[in-house]
Structure 1
């Protein structure tokens, strides 16, 4: 399904730029030929006995990662993105728990390649460092596998092992077409790609561009030079659609000096975490003619709803649900009502998604993919107001950091494993005075630990966005507890929120 749509775009715009990364320009014809070449490479090196095939993609933020992703579609194997900067210990867990058969990469050293081959002797590691993106790979490609599962996206898991969200070609196709329709995206548009493949925002950006015939412009946010020159980059490339998490947009607003300079830009699309009122007001000041489109969705369903913000009071509103689902409210007593029902007016409860068609992601666990459910509890606490549905908070310990899903329990578990002298630890997400989130560890210990010492250990097993912003020390017995003896997360959060300093 996805390949047919991309091939249709290639027929319409063969010599048009599909991907641009600095001086590298990949046309739609190049994209098709190169992805077929990678697909042939995958099918020629896999074990013949394997019926379903999984392929890890370990790349930097570069065009090769996208071409390899399309190559996996051609080979009809499931791809699992792996973040380049993740520690070796985490990559090991992904190889093991995702049942990887192959890794495509140009980032592994010879030492690490030998290490993984020793631990996982059946794992095939293919180095694409010398793969020619511009060579004519227009071969007679023969499909050999049959897999409707497009990807497994690793997310934070409370047990310390990655939790995988699986998505089908049918679902990706649906969400992308809804996004194109609602934002009126055409072949004349130029889209940003700030997110790596391991972030579900990239799914929307990449497939939207390839479906519509637009051009996708890659920008690596890990390079500070790129960030400081972002104004110039946006104007030079005549970007029309910006898509990022609000945290990065907020930073861009701080460094942007001149008012209303982005003449080609049509809209700022923000998603992956909460938009703040300050974001809207600052953007309205600097770019009064450029609207913000607030996108709401989960890793399981990339695009549930969205709306153009025309007033500051709309910040936090989820917008109208896509036609594939109905929004429902689960009250404290367990009863579930459509949000339009009179029982829900003025009430606060958990948002529940009732899907009419099978487009919600499922989970991969214990070597098998669970069947997707038509009813999905989001864990988001919302309030039903006259103006719409407004996000309030999470009901659990899951938070968003720069758009990435993070289970605070995973950080707590990692801290205790490295520091046996810590009696109790509770990790919370607090806010800086600017409104940006920060991750704080509150610990009971007779030994004084600082943030640098703890992060040095955590960096061996956790992604960089899960590292601590601060540590707060408590004496034994000082951390507030519930009557059950468990630590009281809400009371601890209140203590931290009352601190005046941004850095703990």
Structure 2
């Protein structure tokens, strides 16, 4: 097919198809080859000569172009190449680029960085650049590696030295074993095979090298005569499980570096013509590239020996020990200064610790037990990805690394991500065919801040990757020595995850009538938290996660693989979009996040709270209960009790007194009451009058009382006789005060029509500025929360609820109205006056069925019971629900629940805020297994969704600030418009909902429930680690001598962040003589 017609067809398709679907080569045939049954024989198609059919083929014109073209043909294994051919489009990648660089160095006497292949990807442009460098006399060559002369001591290479020290520390470790298996099918000549292996050992000194300390220095000891004997096991009559068992035992055997071969081989005969050839080689003498050399030489030698011929083997010009001497001589501080400066700049400052959310607690000492998960990308997706890479001018490595870093950032909310990756370090022709440990490590650091487009992020990764390749000569060990990173026995320093693209060929090989195939060996060691492997295989891309199975469940890693592919598929379609716009979650996972249902639910009967019933006022719903249960006790405290009818009467009297004042329709009415039934009547009275109540605790400092009155613009104060003089003294008579104990005792009826949108209250909560902020809520939203709480927990008229929280907190709103709007009874208990010692008897006396408190009160209360477990369990058997809220709930709290409460009791961990009451609840029973210290906060309610936001306010998937999307979040902060706009956002979807930013960090677990990781402002970074202060407190509280703890952080005089723990011991006598102790 002539070039003109080929080009016409290409241009035709360009108008019809995306670029990735356009054939790269058009091959003319007279007819299609057919199979015997008349179908097209695809395997009989001739191999296309890519360069011959390129429409823009131009032959080399200059000597430099000719030399580079010949190098490309040799390394890329193609027949011909034009000067305008793109290196990456004709099969090039970074590993092949290093080989081309080596040959250019040898042929043209010039040193060029790998980055030039990306800047000048064609022969014409590369040759032009090289000519310009030569004219400027810029070469930068390092000396060649030469065979050593007699040397008494042979030093280790830098990489070997690191492994030698690590192995000396842990002689039994096997994580540096490199096992692999070759499956052989056919009639095997075992004598020829053994002779082949012996020849390889003889030719490569490193395979017969040991390592010992001489005069305090690690030294290579090269053994001259090694007679290798192949170990053979006959398993023809055994099960395959026996073969796997032998493989595991063989590959997990630790080596002694000082003696014996560090290269072991075993042959298993599985069937008459089926064998497994198992290799186990210590990494100190071997790497992945060496595997390809070994395999290639093994096939060549076996073929020759099998035919009783002398193999044609060239001389090996140098040995690994020669390289070690050269490296020690050449890699001096002076020669590596620019490389060291680059890496010190790249890794300056505090290095981030990538703290992936784990399924199991991280042990204090790093473990290495591994498991793996593999999957393939389809050939169709692979084609799309390759096309994307070509158009973007990047490699598969760069694209996949960028997606991987984006995935890690989403999982950790970390914007500064460091990933370790291996580099072959075979950038010299002298060592290309040499077995040995040459592979090195580079740490690639990328900043994902600013919500860049994927294109921009890919550009950042591309640049840092190319710069890393250009500075690969600095041994990683030297860099670690220079950086002196802070060591932590539970983490790897510098980076905690690994990324490896395997470019080495993995093919079925036929050799002298035999078929060879690589068999994967089960991953038993995890050097990092997670390692990601990428490899092309049969026109598809194979991906694999190797992970520490003592940190992660298999289901978590499977989920991570789905999230990776979901991201990948999105970014190649719309790379111009900002990274925050890409979702990790499938539709199913998104649904789980917003519609998760608790697996544990109460079983008692109750009256469902219909959704239509929230379209009314709070008093309207209350009065329905008055009609149903007029003589039932509604609320009871130590000194008084009201039936529903009596409470309604008292509330009407208070409402009437407010209406008689003639104050504004939505006037703010301050309440100033102790913790008793009077405050309940006052709240209802204000609501019945259509006013807004503002509760103030008489125990508050005078300044806070005055601030609340002034800020809320309160027009009147409601109080009772016992508090009347106190509030008069505080306000100096500036506001009218109604003493409800002196109201006329004549019963009145209040039939005021109150809209559900009418404001109900302003509750003041702590503010970051030091001044409380008032949260505004209306009747509709309160009823929404009570409805969900009722239906979730099956609250009925048979229930007895306790009220422990002050009425100035939203927890009290839930308790008060959950009782009074369902015909239940509310029992008021004043902890400050009565103390926790009497709470136990009080709960038993009043047969409380729903116990609600903060975790702190709950812990103190149960700890007071001490050893009375069996008695308490019997006497508290009427409690069917333990509801905790307001602080983090710990595993310790669940254990207390399991000890002290009845078997049918349900434990509820709730998450809420004044701005949105309850918005998540996690219910568990005695059968629920809790493995982590963090107890999930669980599932959402009807008309309430949870989204996670990153630090820039973008919706993210797995880790971020918990935000509530609902039409029923608070209306805002009273007289704080700027703060309201910052915390209450418009719905991203433009609906009638709003989004409340809670300030709590959370993560979506793979089972669909939410974990709360603490307050956003309670997380600090200490030496690169994100530290949740509550997690430290939880661990301290587990100590048998510690009763309670609080951890804070401060900067010392050197501006170093330090953690400070304040501890209340079980034995208070220890406090008097104690001094602050540094806790490390």
* TM-score for the superposition, normalised by structure 2: 0.36
Partner-residue secondary structure (3-state), 1:208: helix
Q: Please name the residue that 2:594 is paired with.
A: none
Question: Do the aligned residues in 2 keep the contact of 1:52 with 1:145 (CA within 8 Å)?
Answer: no
Correspondence 1:304 to 2:916: no
Alignment of 1:306-325 (within 5 A): 306-309=921-924, 310-313=928-931, 315-325=934-944
Alignment of 1:270-349 (within 5 A): 270-289=884-903, 290-309=905-924, 310-313=928-931, 315-332=934-951, 334-337=953-956, 344=957, 347-349=958-960
Task: Identify the match of residue 1037 of structure 2 among 397, 419, 434.
Answer: 434
Instruction: For residues 403-449 of structure 1, give each alpha carbon's deviation from its aligned partner in whole angstroms, at most 9, with x where no partner exists.
Output: xxxxxxxxxxxxxxxxxxxxxxxxx9883832787667889xxxxxx
Task: Identify the match of residue 158 of structure 1 among 768, 777, 783.
Answer: 768
Partner-residue secondary structure (3-state), 1:173: helix
Once residues 328 and 177 of structure 1 are traced to their aligned partners in structure 2, the CA distance between those partners, rounded to angstroms, is 22
Partner-residue secondary structure (3-state), 2:962: strand
Partner-residue secondary structure (3-state), 1:324: coil
Alignment of 1:110-259 (within 5 A): 110=725, 112-118=727-733, 121=734, 123-130=735-742, 135=745, 137-141=746-750, 143=752, 148-223=758-833, 225-256=834-865, 257-259=868-870
Question: Do the aligned residues in 2 keep the contact of 1:305 with 1:319 (CA within 8 Å)?
Answer: yes
Once residues 66 and 216 of structure 1 are traced to their aligned partners in structure 2, the CA distance between those partners, rounded to angstroms, is 10
Q: Please name the residue that 1:415 is paired with.
A: none
Q: Please name the residue that 1:467 is paired with.
A: none
Question: Do the aligned residues in 1 keep the contact of 2:916 with 2:968 (CA within 8 Å)?
Answer: no
Residues 274, 16 of structure 1: alpha-carbon distance in 2 compared, 3 angstrom cutoff = same
Instruction: For residues 288-328 of structure 1, give each alpha carbon's deviation from its aligned partner in whole angstroms, at most 9, with x where no partner exists.
Output: 51221111111111011212122323752121111212221
Correspondence 1:496 to 2:1060: yes
Once residues 978 and 1044 of structure 2 are traced to their aligned partners in structure 1, the CA distance between those partners, rounded to angstroms, is 35
Task: Identify the match of residue 78 of structure 1 among 682, 692, 695.
Answer: 692
Once residues 384 and 92 of structure 1 are traced to their aligned partners in structure 2, the CA distance between those partners, rounded to angstroms, is 43
Q: Please name the residue that 2:1000 is paired with.
A: 380
Alignment of 1:399-418 (within 5 A): none
Superposition deviation, residue 129 in structure 1: 4.1
Bigger drift between 383-392 and 81-90 goes to 383-392
Q: Please name the residue that 1:53 is paired with.
A: 667
Partner-residue secondary structure (3-state), 1:350: strand
Q: Please name the residue that 2:419 is paired with.
A: none
Question: Do the aligned residues in 2 keep the contact of 1:180 with 1:208 (CA within 8 Å)?
Answer: yes
Partner-residue secondary structure (3-state), 2:961: strand
Instruction: For residues 147-168 of structure 1, give each alpha carbon's deviation from its aligned partner in whole angstroms, at most 9, with x where no partner exists.
Output: 7110000111233322011111
Residues 391, 100 of structure 1: alpha-carbon distance in 2 compared, 3 angstrom cutoff = same
Once residues 781 and 753 of structure 2 are traced to their aligned partners in structure 1, the CA distance between those partners, rounded to angstroms, is 23
Once residues 962 and 947 of structure 2 are traced to their aligned partners in structure 1, the CA distance between those partners, rounded to angstroms, is 6
Superposition deviation, residue 141 in structure 1: 3.1
Instruction: For residues 229-274 of structure 1, give each alpha carbon's deviation from its aligned partner in whole angstroms, at most 9, with x where no partner exists.
Output: 2221111111111011111011111012232121211110111111
Superposition deviation, residue 331 in structure 1: 3.1
Superposition deviation, residue 173 in structure 1: 0.4
Instruction: For residues 342-389 of structure 1, give each alpha carbon's deviation from its aligned partner in whole angstroms, at most 9, with x where no partner exists.
Output: xx3xx432122222x234342112599968640122211112221322
Q: Please name the residue that 2:644 is paired with.
A: 28
Once residues 886 and 759 of structure 2 are traced to their aligned partners in structure 1, the CA distance between those partners, rounded to angstroms, is 23
Correspondence 1:100 to 2:710: no
Correspondence 1:478 to 2:1052: yes
Bigger drift between 366-375 and 159-168 goes to 366-375
Residues 15, 383 of structure 1: alpha-carbon distance in 2 compared, 3 angstrom cutoff = same
Residues 381, 480 of structure 1: alpha-carbon distance in 2 compared, 3 angstrom cutoff = farther
Question: Do the aligned residues in 2 keep the contact of 1:77 with 1:145 (CA within 8 Å)?
Answer: no
Question: Do the aligned residues in 2 keep the contact of 1:97 with 1:162 (CA within 8 Å)?
Answer: no
Superposition deviation, residue 22 in structure 1: 2.4
Q: Please name the residue that 2:626 is paired with.
A: 10
Partner-residue secondary structure (3-state), 2:626: helix
Once residues 726 and 878 of structure 2 are traced to their aligned partners in structure 1, the CA distance between those partners, rounded to angstroms, is 47
Once residues 40 and 288 of structure 1 are traced to their aligned partners in structure 2, the CA distance between those partners, rounded to angstroms, is 46
Superposition deviation, residue 480 in structure 1: 5.4
Once residues 1064 and 844 of structure 2 are traced to their aligned partners in structure 1, the CA distance between those partners, rounded to angstroms, is 37
Q: Which runs of 5+ in 2 are unaligned?
A: 1-616, 986-993, 1021-1028, 1066-1070
* TM-score for the superposition, normalised by structure 1: 0.75
Once residues 764 and 802 of structure 2 are traced to their aligned partners in structure 1, the CA distance between those partners, rounded to angstroms, is 23
Question: Do the aligned residues in 2 keep the contact of 1:219 with 1:226 (CA within 8 Å)?
Answer: no
Residues 367, 334 of structure 1: alpha-carbon distance in 2 compared, 3 angstrom cutoff = closer
Q: Which has the higher strand share?
A: 1
Q: Please name the residue that 2:310 is paired with.
A: none
Once residues 60 and 221 of structure 1 are traced to their aligned partners in structure 2, the CA distance between those partners, rounded to angstroms, is 12
Question: Do the aligned residues in 1 keep the contact of 2:659 with 2:689 (CA within 8 Å)?
Answer: yes
Question: Do the aligned residues in 1 keep the contact of 2:969 with 2:996 (CA within 8 Å)?
Answer: no
Partner-residue secondary structure (3-state), 2:960: strand
Question: Do the aligned residues in 2 keep the contact of 1:51 with 1:145 (CA within 8 Å)?
Answer: no
Instruction: For residues 118-156 of structure 1, give each alpha carbon's deviation from its aligned partner in whole angstroms, at most 9, with x where no partner exists.
Output: 5xx3x2112234458xx5x43143649877110000111
Once residues 59 and 276 of structure 1 are traced to their aligned partners in structure 2, the CA distance between those partners, rounded to angstroms, is 33
Question: Do the aligned residues in 1 keep the contact of 2:668 with 2:715 (CA within 8 Å)?
Answer: yes
Question: Do the aligned residues in 2 keep the contact of 1:57 with 1:82 (CA within 8 Å)?
Answer: yes
Partner-residue secondary structure (3-state), 1:377: strand
Residues 2, 110 of structure 1: alpha-carbon distance in 2 compared, 3 angstrom cutoff = closer
Once residues 501 and 94 of structure 1 are traced to their aligned partners in structure 2, the CA distance between those partners, rounded to angstroms, is 33
Q: Which runs of 5+ in 1 are unaligned?
A: 338-343, 400-427, 444-476, 482-487
Once residues 776 and 701 of structure 2 are traced to their aligned partners in structure 1, the CA distance between those partners, rounded to angstroms, is 23
Question: Do the aligned residues in 1 keep the contact of 2:877 with 2:901 (CA within 8 Å)?
Answer: no
Q: CA RMSD in A?
A: 3.0
Partner-residue secondary structure (3-state), 1:496: strand
- Structure number, greater radius of gyration: 2
Once residues 84 and 276 of structure 1 are traced to their aligned partners in structure 2, the CA distance between those partners, rounded to angstroms, is 32
